[in-house]
Structure 1
Amino acid sequence: MNTELILNYLTDLEQNNCRDWYHGHKEEYKAANAEFEALIQELILRIGVTDSSILHNEPKDLTFRLTRDTRFSHDKSPYNPAFRAHIAPMGKLPVPVGYYLMIKPGGRSFLGGGLFADMFKDATSMIRDHIAKHPDRWETVITAPGFTKNFTVSGTSLKNVPAGYDKTHPQAQYLKYKSWYLEYPISDELLCSPEDFLALAADVFTQMQPFNRFLNTALDGFKMPERP
């Protein structure tokens, strides 16, 4: 498994972020993407030891395109020089939550978990309600030694506790959130050692599982909005 090939391709794409270069280096893309999919396949097998809900996935169904939507962005670069994947029970859909990997050169790679999307109001309400009803369970998850060693809960947050929730609730700070996610940074040096990376990634993703399970319990019954 050649992870350096992945990093080298993405570095070249970042330095030559235009359609002419991208289309002129399709073979390099195919080679790097094949290595990334092999990495995802190995992660599926290792995560699957403790979470069998993701074992049915095919790597090609979990990855995201390199192209960017530049319509509302000042940055008109056509490509995001990053390989990304979401390994979850329903593939790369954001719900149920799963395990996220982004490889981006320059120390910008990370492992993630939880709900990154904050545009699904029903999902936000379901998680808030679950935290409000089960503050002790939430506290147990986010104060576990394996959790506090590796993670801090991040997410888009309101300034105040939203209407309908107790402002003095013991988990009031988390009721302000509209998304709840985790990020674990990964260095380029670690990525260049595939076996070391895979061992660490499997361990980090395993440590995320109680957090993901809490959110997925809250999200039971959620349906993704249909596209118009």
Structure 2
Amino acid sequence: MTTKSSLKAAFTAPTLEFMRELVQNNNREWFHTNRPRYDAAKAELCGVVERVLASMSAFEPLANTSVKDCIFRINRDIRFSKEKSPYKSNLAFAIGPGGRHSGRIDYYVHIQPGNQSFLGAGMWQPTPANLAKYRQEVDYNVEELKNIIEADEFKAYFPEASGEVMKTSPKGYPIDHPEIDLLRRKELFFLHRYTDKDVLKPNFADEIVRGCRIIKPYCDLLNYLFFDEKEEPVTL
């Protein structure tokens, strides 16, 4: 991973303006005419990602993770969509070992004008097996999870929990379970939203790193439960 670069590790107003105009002109002809503006926006995105990777390497195993591994394409996959706009209305990247396809719980950053930017991480669309592991942890050892997500610093930075919630209790758990609110969750994804003013600050990349550091214990817990915990041998 490169740690020295001439790329500017910040977003500027022209990048957000380009994204605003793209929403109103989401077609290939306009995009190709304005390709230099997109290239400038992408260069800023690369600079921010590079800064984030360099800083997060101090506390995340990101060896051999490159900027291009982390960035999502702006082109939409419209093969199975009724909405045929060819381009996304946001810039985005994910930080994890190997980048956006790490296969583990990682950190997702979404840049979209109109005060719609955010940093998010957590349990999103888990497999049935992983959801079962999460619920078992809530049932057997909820204190570790609650000590993380109910800590003052965590709640101050990530006040918003997103994701699907069941209306009834999950199978195998009583409706009066003391942790029924956590057990009902099919997803538990936390967000910190950024205003356009936040995104344009020179230290925005460092702010992303600060948020990732705060939510890291939650990501670590999920990664342990879903991928790293060893199954106990069955004894007869």
Residue in structure 1 matching 2:20, options 4, 8, 11: 11
Residue 209 of structure 2 is matched in structure 1 by 202
Report the RMSD for the aligned CA atoms in angstroms. 2.1
Distance 1:91 1:170, change over 3 A: farther
Aligned positions, number: 219
Distance 1:128 1:95, change over 3 A: farther
Distance 1:168 1:91, change over 3 A: farther
> What's the offset of the Cα at 1:83?
0.5
Residue in structure 2 matching 1:68, options 76, 82, 98: 76
Distance 1:120 1:142, change over 3 A: same
1:27 matches 2:36: yes
Identity %: 27
> What's the offset of the Cα at 1:69?
3.6
> What's the offset of the Cα at 1:72?
5.6
Partner amino acid for 1:204? G
Partner amino acid for 1:64? F
Residue 111 of structure 1 is matched in structure 2 by 119
Indicate the larger mover: 87-96 or 143-152.
87-96
Residue 4 of structure 2 is matched in structure 1 by none
Residue 128 of structure 1 is matched in structure 2 by 135
Residue 81 of structure 1 is matched in structure 2 by 89
Distance 2:214 2:99 in 1: 20
Equivalent pair of 1:10/1:104 in contact (CA under 8 Å):
yes
Unaligned runs of 5+ in 1: 223-228
Equivalent pair of 1:131/1:171 in contact (CA under 8 Å):
yes
TM-score between the two structures when normalised by the length of structure 1: 0.86
Which of the pair has more CA radius of gyration?
A: 2
> What's the offset of the Cα at 1:156?
1.1
Distance 1:78 1:106 in 2: 20
Distance 1:55 1:44 in 2: 10
Residue in structure 2 matching 1:218, options 202, 222, 225: 225
Partner amino acid for 1:208? I
